[in-house]
Structure formats: structure tokens, C-alpha cells
Structure 1
Amino acid sequence: MDTIEIRQNLHMLLLEFGQAYLWNDAGALTLIDTGIATSGGDIADAIGRLGFRTRDVRHVILTHFHEDHSGGAAEISSWGDVIVMAHRREAPVIRGEVPAPPPNFTDEERVLHRQLGAHLLPPAPPCRVDRELEDRDLIDFGGGARVIATPGHTDGSIAIHLPGPGVLFTGDTVVHVDGQVIPGVFNLDREEMLRSFRKLAVVGAELACVGHGEPIQDAHIALPAAADLIR
């Protein structure tokens, strides 16, 4: 597993499948997404290589319930005094109280999904959600983080904006593939997801940390340009 320094206090963790982000506030760590169910050990190793302990993780923020984002949360929630957060509409799925609704595939996505069929992901174990988030909620990390509701990929998908450092965590509403900034796939409601994409395009963040692909530098330019191209 690779650990990539994006900024002095921000690392991207490239996991067995997918990725997560680790923010450091003077030794108090915030983890945005957690990879698949087998990712806990890799994340613990990465935290150790960076000179921290697993009990330094204070916040786990899940951008949505998909198993490549929430799968490791149950294990990580047991590491210490960890507050697990997700949007109110995602919490029942993450807790295992209701089944996860399947995506509404486009024809192209259906083909892609079949091609990925050999890479079935382990189900995410149920995990407690200590704080249910809403649009515009504030979270105490990174100088003050703001929740942005971005429904469409899932009903309760969220992005997290750090206005001070100019960083935006987009979840799967935005992906960065082969140098292209595009909307995410496998959505519950593609039209609603596109509205959320356009919403993120006007945030004005300098850096966008996406759910899949490399972080987007100069996001305040790249995201509006991509939004102009989508239909």
C-alpha cells in the first residue's frame, strides 16, 4: 500500500481497492473514508509509518455507504475514542439497519459493472454512526470543515470542504480518470448527481481529493471546466 503526501498535513492512502485520506491536526487524525472491509490493517500500518498510533484517530467521516468507502469503518471504530460520522440518510445502511439500495445503471455502466464482476468487494460490516450529519454542518478539524450534501451517487452522499486550506473531499461525485475530471458512475440518481457535481464546481477549492483517481490540483479551474462539459 502506498501513502502519498499531498500536503504536509494531508496524505492519500492507496488501499487494496480504493483510497482514503488522512488529515493531521497536530497529532489528532481525521480519516475520510476507510476502504473495503480488509483495509483496517493497511490503514493502521500507514498511520504507524507516519509516526502516529491508531488511537490518534479522532474522526472517521464516511462520504457514503458503498463498501469501498465504509468497509473498514467497523474495525477502525474500535481503535479508541473515535467519532464515526455520516449523513443522516446513509446512517441506517452503515449501521446495517436497512439494505443498501442498488445503483440505477446506465447502459454503459451496466457493461462496466459486468466487466468488474470478477472484482466483487467484501460487504461492509455494520458500523455504528456516532454523529449523523446534515448539509452545512461544521466538523472540528482542518480549521473548520463544512459538510456539503451531494445526493445522487447515493441519497446521503456528502463532500467535506475545508475553506481555510482550500481543500475539498468529493467522495464519488467527482472522479479523476486518465487525466479527466468527470462525474462518478454507479449512481442512484444520475441527474441529481450531476446537480451535485455542479454544486461542487462552484465551491472554489484549490485542491479536490476525489474518491477514485489522483487529487485535482487547481480544482477551482478544473471543476468548473468539467461542469461546463457534462450533460
Structure 2
Amino acid sequence: MKQELNYGTDYKFIPVTSVKSGVGIEILPDLFCHTIQIVNISLVGNPESDELVLVDAGMPKSANEIISVIEERFGPNSRPKAIILTHGHFDHVGGLIELVKHWEVPVYAHQLEMPFLTGQKSYPEPDPTVEGGLVAKMSPSFPNEPINLGSSVQTLPSDGTIPHMPGFRWIHTPGHSPGHISLFRESDGALIAGDAFTTVKQEYMYKVFTQELEISGPPRYLTTDWEAAKQSVIKLEDLKPKVAVTGHGLPMSGEVLTTSLSKLVNEFDQIAIPDYGRYVN
């Protein structure tokens, strides 16, 4: 009997947006970033080939938009070989079940995210008391019950390789979630950071809406382990990435990325960690 895939009972459209919603940016010939409301998905693969992987799956109710973005870039009826998740928070798995059913492709995630992707365990409650603006205050309305992908989700290979993404390796970057990963390609310094760090102050509605470029830590209202989050940023800065796509905010590259990441590492406690909140200390 085929297993029924389902979202949590709290799954719903979240009415937030930004000026970059619906906008796509080609960062490299085989790396394309598209913003859905306030979160980014990445398409990895050259449009001249049929090698395509989708990284993350957007906000709730975004499957049709993701399908059309892919078909616009790769041609009608194009489908990825796989979907890779940086983590399983609602804004990174929002279109996932519809996409899995539509394409019949496997999903891969870190072992430690599996309970949140197979219906076993909810993420900790978002923290509306955390230092920050209106998005932080709205966070109790964000879905946090687990999605159930059943046998459609598989654990990433333990050797760091990523199926259908030759040249990239996954790096465990916990803090924002237990099994959070980032994806890195040594040959050109391309980094898909997920929410390990962001390039917008994700807690503030005005900054989210305007997408003001500013290095920041992971979204505060959903980050539960700040020491691990700090170590993850240190790990990524050590890689000396040349271009970075983050889960929230605009891509960053070159000298701006280098100096911003260095600043984030050196001033992590001031920049990233909130002065107060349920998960601080």
C-alpha cells in the first residue's frame, strides 16, 4: 500500500512578502536563485543539460510557482533528479509534497532532520519573545508540526557527497536546526548556506520587505542552539566561499562576502545572538 504523504495540521499559506518575491538571479551558469515571498530556492544545473537538482522547496502553497520557474529555465516538463533540503522548517518544505507527487523524485536530508520529515517530531515552538521586529512577533503563526514524506525522503550519504550534485559536498551546520546542512563546491567557492547565516535581518518586517543587504545570523525566532550556530558560521567562513546563496536575502559574493563573513564570525554575539529570548543562553 502506498504511504500517504502529509503536512502537519498547522500547514497554511503565510501572508508575508518582499520586493524580490518572484525574482530569479543567475549567480553562476549552473546556479540560479529564486525568491518565493521571503525565502530562496536554488536550482543547481546548467540549463543546456538535463542535470538539475532543486535545493529547498519554498513557502507553503508554492509548488506551482516552483514548477513554472524550473520549466522556464530548463524547458517544458523539466524535472530535477532530486530535491536536497538544507533543513525541514516550513518555509523550506512548503511545496514539497506536491512536488514529490508531480515529479516522483527522491528527497535527501541529514539524518538528524529525519524525525521532522517523517511525521515523528515537531520542531521547537517559534519564539515570539525574541529580540526583533514584526516577523519575530508573527512567528507563533508559522507551522512547526512535522511534514511526513514517508519513504520519499532518504538520508544523505555519510561521506559528504550529494546525489546528482558532482563537485558539491554537504557540510553539517547545526544550530538553526539539528540536521541543518550547507552545500559547498571547492572548485569555484560556491556556497548554498541555507539558514546557517542570512543576508537580511529576517526578524524585521521592513528589512525583509525591502531585502536590505546585511549579513546576519540564522533567523532568531527559530534558532534554538546559538553555540552550535556560531560554530557553523566559523566552519563556513573557513571555507572562504566566493559566492553565497542564503535561505533569506540576496546572494553575496567577492570582497563583500569575505569581509561580511569575517565580521559575522568576529562579532557573532553582537550581530546574531539576540539580547533576550527563550533560546538565548
Give the TM-score normalised by the residue count of structure 1. 0.88
Q: 1:37 to 1:171 in 2, by over 3 A?
A: same
SS in 1 for 2:187: coil
Whole-angstrom distance in 1 between the partners of 2:163 and 2:224: 30
Matches within 5 A, 1:178-197: 178-184=212-218, 185=220, 186-197=222-233
| Pairwise CA distance, 1:105 | 6.7
| Pairwise CA distance, 1:74 | 1.3
SS in 2 for 1:11: strand
Q: 1:130 to 1:65 in 2, by over 3 A?
A: closer
Contact 1:88 1:132 in 2 (8 A): yes
Q: 1:189 to 1:209 in 2, by over 3 A?
A: same
How much identity, in percent, do the aligned residues show?
26
**Deviation per CA, 1:198-224, whole angstroms, max 9, x where unpaired?**
111111111111010001112344312
* Bigger RCO (CA 8 Å, 6+ sep): 2
Q: How many residues align?
A: 230
Matched, 1:61 2:84: yes
Runs of 5+ in structure 1 lacking a partner?
Answer: none
Give the TM-score normalised by the residue count of structure 2. 0.73
Which of the pair has more CA radius of gyration? Answer: 2
| Pairwise CA distance, 1:123 | 6.5
Contact 2:156 2:162 in 1 (8 A): no
Tell me which of 13, 26, 51 is aligned to 2:34: 13
In structure 2, the partner of 1:174 is 197
Q: Which has the higher strand share?
A: 1
User: In structure 1, what residue type is equivalent to 2:80?
Assistant: V
User: In structure 2, what residue type is equivalent to 1:126?
Assistant: N
| Pairwise CA distance, 1:109 | 4.5
| Pairwise CA distance, 1:50 | 1.2
Contact 1:134 1:149 in 2 (8 A): no
In structure 1, the partner of 2:160 is 137
Whole-angstrom distance in 1 between the partners of 2:124 and 2:189: 33
Q: In terms of mean alpha carbon deviation, does 162-171 or 104-113 score higher?
A: 104-113
SS in 1 for 2:123: coil
Whole-angstrom distance in 1 between the partners of 2:43 and 2:134: 33
User: In structure 1, what residue type is equivalent to 2:149?
Assistant: C
Instruction: Tell me how large the CA RMSD over aligned residues is.
Output: 2.5
Contact 1:104 1:188 in 2 (8 A): no
Matches within 5 A, 1:1-231: 1-25=22-46, 26-103=49-126, 107-109=130-132, 112-114=135-137, 116-117=138-139, 120=142, 125-128=147-150, 129-133=152-156, 137-177=160-200, 178-184=212-218, 185=220, 186-218=222-254, 219-231=257-269
| Pairwise CA distance, 1:51 | 3.4
Q: 1:97 to 1:118 in 2, by over 3 A?
A: closer
SS in 1 for 2:81: strand
